[in-house]
Amino acid sequence: GQQVMQIPQYQHVQEGEDFTTYCNSSTTLSNIQWYKQRPGGHPVFLIQLVKSGEVKKQKRLTFQFGEAKKNSSLHITATQTTDVGTYFCAGSNGQAGTALIFGKGTTLSVSS
């Protein structure tokens, strides 16, 4: 079945450094979504990418969807302690009656 792989599993950075997490799917995706889960919290929807090669920005966060629609990345510029948490990508093949398949997530820790 469809699999979504995410790397790295953990990343520790100093505050102010950049951070990137990568997501790869075994199949072509209809769309990809990104979620953030703060420690002790639940996943919160950040964004969805639909088009091949699409790039979207949310302040210091940049999301990309690959040309082949099989990979995606989330880049955070100049991390802050508020960026701490686990970032999940989740893909869909777009077929009716299917659900998102989540990657295992990348847990980001930031030291000041």
Residues that bind other proteins (CB under 8 A): 1, 6, 9, 30-31, 33, 35, 41-46, 48, 50, 88, 90, 94, 97, 99-105
Choice between 15 and 104, CB closer to other proteins: 104
- Distance separating alpha carbons of residues 55 and 73, to the nearest angstrom: 10
Shortest reach from residue 28's CB to other proteins, in Å: 15
Residue 85 CB, shortest distance to other proteins, in Å, is: 14
Q: Which is nearer to other proteins, 31 or 64 (CB)?
A: 31
CB of 15 to other proteins, least distance (A): 25
Cβ distance to other proteins smaller for residue 31 or 71: 31
Q: Whose Cβ is closer to other proteins: residue 20's or residue 48's?
A: 48
Three-state secondary structure call for residue 31: strand
49: amino acid identity, one letter:
L
Secondary structure of the chain: what % helix, strand, coil (to 5)? 5, 55, 45
Task: Please give the Cα distance from 7 to 37 (Å, whole number).
Answer: 16
Q: What's the CA gap between 2 and 90, in Å, rounded?
A: 11
Containing 34, the helix (H) or strand (E) segment is strand 31-37
Shortest reach from residue 42's CB to other proteins, in Å: 4
